[in-house]
């Protein structure tokens, strides 16, 4: 089934009876060439690109819950390429380019909206840092514009320009940044992978990884054993438990990050706005809800909910920055589990076990990386070589100290990134 304007029109006139399920619900086979553990955004896009770019379709994605039920459905949907360090910079640039062609590629409306992101700054020093980051983004081939206070006021007149603690000096504007509909991203990749022959197997939890003589042989699941020549672990949020089945300890600590959405309002916030000093960022969904969040709760957690002190912090920062949102009612809040790595950058690598691959450590940045991560991970799995835009996400960079990519120079404590 292909989506098109004509199809929507026709279905509208004929009672919408012609729509079919977006993907099959197959029984697991006893053997695949490649098994992907984790049917989240990254796992699904890995499967999609394995099929599309490498012609590998004897692939199964094993999901312990349902497609779209993990972090791909629990984020704040922001897409951007405003990284500073080499390694991250070219990767997120690559991912943003894939986003820009994604809807046509998938024949699926992921509601990718390049409404622009503005990172606010509040001092001369922060302006210098923003200019430096902007120059790095431009030299990477992406876009960045340094806004002064007056330009900022024209674009975001609703901000509190009288704040004495954090006076608004301007913002770093990244016009190609924006948002996308997160569920649709999962569904689009799932449908695209399924159409090319990948088996998406839901309610199938991996409970063991079979390793013989240093090589992976398959997995044990709640729906029986499945053999495979290659196994990819893509289970951010639960990476540690999955890797433990292969006898590995990861440089990951799991933390809860909360997010909030208000009742639907008329359009009022046209961009994504980030207020780093207040640990607050916000955008408005196409449905009208203000979607916003803040920082981690800061203690290791696997609960998909946080505690009230962080809620209070986020609300205070939001109202301090844009007093107009004070009257909006918060509809709901939730927490997502973050794989926090010691340098704030992800890991996409082989492991010391033959045929076993690892993709984890996405910190807060997993959503925007969905197309890029799947694309470069599929390349690694299929060819055994690192993709040219993902050569630096090595697992051993912590042990050796070579190639650590700490964007903000925070040090090795996991929760500080």
* Alpha carbon distance 328, 318 (integer Å): 11
Going by C-alpha positions, the residue among 101, 87, 40 that lies closest to residue 67 is: 40
From the CB of 401, what's the least distance to other proteins, in Å?
9
Q: Looking at beta carbons only, is 193 or 360 nearer to other proteins?
A: 360
> Closest Cα partner for 360 from 372, 346, 373?
346
* Joined tokens for residue 307: 């505690």
* Residue 238 in the binding site for other proteins (CB under 8 A): yes
Backbone phi, psi, residue 185, to 5°: -65, -45
Of residues 152 and 252, the one with the C-beta less far from other proteins: 252
Residue 401 contacts by C-beta under 8 Å, 6 or more apart in sequence? none
Contact 194, 106 (CB under 8 A): no
Query: DSSP assignment, residue 307?
Result: -
Region binding other proteins by CB under 8 A among candidate stretches 30-38, 67-75, 194-202, 247-255: 247-255
- Nearest approach in angstroms of CB 297 to other proteins is 9
Q: Which of residues 300-359 bind other proteins (CB under 8 A)?
A: 300-303, 307, 309, 342
Single out the residue of 123, 135, 222, 413 in contact with other proteins (rule: CB under 8 A): 413
Q: Which of 357, 381, 136, 155 is CA-nearest to residue 273?
A: 155
Site string for other proteins, 279-298 (x = CB under 8 A): -------------------x
- In sequence order, the β-bridge partners of residue 340 are 253
Q: Applying CB under 8 A, does 228 fall inside the site for other proteins?
A: no
- Dihedral sign for Cα 52, 55, 58, 63, please: negative
| Stretch near other proteins under the rule CB under 8 A, chosen from 138-146, 269-277, 375-383, 407-415 | 407-415
- Give yes or no for residue 252 binding other proteins (CB under 8 A): yes
Single residue of 240, 294, 318, 371 touching other proteins by CB under 8 A: 240
Q: How far apart are CA 208 and CA 220, in angstroms?
A: 5
Size of the site for other proteins (CB under 8 A): 25
Q: Which is nearer to other proteins, 122 or 238 (CB)?
A: 238
Give yes or no for residue 253 binding other proteins (CB under 8 A).
Answer: yes
Q: Which residues sit at the interface with other proteins, rule CB under 8 A? A: 238, 240-241, 249-254, 298-303, 307, 309, 342, 398-400, 412-415
């Amino acid at each position: 089934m292909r989506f098109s304007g004509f199809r929507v029109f026709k279905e509208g006139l004929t009672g919408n009876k012609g729509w079919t399920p977006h993907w099959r619900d197959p029984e697991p086979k006893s053997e695949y060439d490649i098994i992907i553990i984790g049917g989240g955004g990254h796992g699904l896009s890995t499967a999609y690109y394995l099929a599309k770019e490498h012609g590998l379709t004897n692939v199964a994605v094993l999901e312990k819950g349902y497609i779209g039920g993990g972090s791909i459905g629990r984020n704040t949907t922001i897409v951007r390429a405003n990284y500073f360090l080499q390694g991250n910079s070219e990767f997120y640039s690559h991912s943003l380019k894939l986003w820009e062609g994604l809807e046509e590629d998938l024949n699926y409306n992921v509601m990718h909206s390049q409404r622009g992101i503005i990172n606010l700054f509040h001092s001369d020093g922060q302006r210098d840092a923003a200019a430096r980051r902007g120059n790095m983004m431009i030299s990477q081939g992406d876009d960045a514009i340094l806004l002064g206070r007056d330009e900022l006021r024209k674009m975001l007149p609703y901000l509190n320009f009288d704040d004495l603690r954090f006076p608004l000096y301007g913002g770093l504007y990244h016009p190609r940044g924006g948002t996308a509909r997160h569920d649709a991203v999962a569904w689009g990749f799932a449908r695209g992978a399924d159409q090319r022959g990948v088996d998406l197997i839901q309610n199938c939890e991996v409970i063991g990884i079979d390793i013989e003589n240093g090589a992976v042989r398959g997995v044990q699941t709640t729906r029986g054993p499945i053999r495979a020549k290659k196994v990819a672990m893509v289970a951010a949020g639960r990476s540690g438990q999955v890797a433990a089945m292969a006898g590995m300890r990861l440089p990951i600590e799991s933390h809860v990050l909360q997010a909030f959405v208000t009742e639907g309002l008329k359009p009022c916030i046209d961009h994504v706005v980030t207020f780093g000093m207040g640990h607050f960022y916000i955008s408005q969904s196409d449905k009208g809800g203000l979607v916003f969040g803040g920082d981690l709760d800061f203690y290791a957690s696997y609960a998909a909910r946080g505690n009230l002190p962080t809620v209070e912090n986020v609300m205070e920062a939001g109202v301090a920055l844009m007093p107009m949102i004070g009257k909006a009612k918060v509809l709901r809040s939730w927490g997502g589990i973050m794989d926090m790595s010691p340098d704030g950058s992800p890991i996409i690598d082989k492991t010391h076990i033959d045929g076993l691959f690892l993709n984890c450590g996405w910190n807060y940045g997993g959503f925007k990386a969905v197309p890029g991560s799947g694309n470069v991970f599929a390349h690694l799995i299929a060819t055994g070589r690192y993709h040219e835009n993902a050569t630096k996400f090595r697992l051993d960079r912590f042990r050796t100290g070579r190639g650590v990519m700490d964007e903000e120079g925070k040090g090795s404590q996991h929760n500080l990134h």
